[in-house]
Amino acid sequence: MIIETIPVGMLLCNCVILGDEATKRAIVIDPGDEVDKIGALLEKHGLSVTAIVATHGHIDHVGGIAVLKALTGAPAMLHEGDAPMYENVALQAQWLGVPTPETTQIDKYLTDRQHIEFGKHKLEVRHTPGHSPGSVSFVAPHDVPIIFAGDTLFAGSIGRTDLWGGSFEEIIRSIKGTLLPMPDDSVVLPGHGPRTTIGIERTTNPFLT
């Protein structure tokens, strides 16, 4: 599996390109900004995009969806719980003091335990609310599972819960109920910052011990 991680935008959101070598089908997770960079990497690997997915509706994760959709023709997907946030991306832009990005129609809502296939690979959707009502994590069953955790779980920290629709109780329940039961060597690629593993977070994350 091809895995490219690109920190994009002012908040350095980790955008991820996942590609299947054989069929050249790809999924793009969290194209927050800098779609030119994402497009260049897709071109470098000769990939065509099957789906554009977002872990949640914050502007740093969804800001580039419309431009990437126009570039690739791929459908845009996020969880319905964060649809109001995407519709109000202009408010988020105002709040951060950045230009309002172009928006588009969300083509499909992600649901818990749904599978998104790309070539012979697939991603499983897990609803992990708390950072926002519609926050999801994506799990790729690789040699060891790879978890794309969005802003739910970080190396040594967890997502903030003081923004619209956030809940500390819920994020802890999501992490402990959905993410921590995965094998210790599962790799976690958070929405910001360095990668970690489930084992490291279970034993050392101050929010979880």
User: For binding to Zn ion (CB under 5 A), which residues are involved?
Assistant: 58, 60, 151, 191
Helix (H) or strand (E) run with residue 41 in it: helix 35-45
Least separation in angstroms between CB 96 and Zn ion: 11
Between 13 and 47, CB nearer to Zn ion: 13
Least separation in angstroms between CB 185 and Zn ion: 25
Between 54 and 182, CB nearer to Zn ion: 54
Least separation in angstroms between CB 134 and Zn ion: 11
Three-state DSSP at 77 gives strand
CB atoms within 10 A of CB 44: 11
Between 133 and 191, CB nearer to Zn ion: 191
What is the side-by-side order of every strand in the sheet holding 136-141? Answer: 115-118, 121-127, 136-141, 145-150, 187-190, 196-197
Q: How far is CA 170 from the centre of its chain?
A: 18
Least separation in angstroms between CB 59 and Zn ion: 9
Between 162 and 169, CB nearer to Zn ion: 162
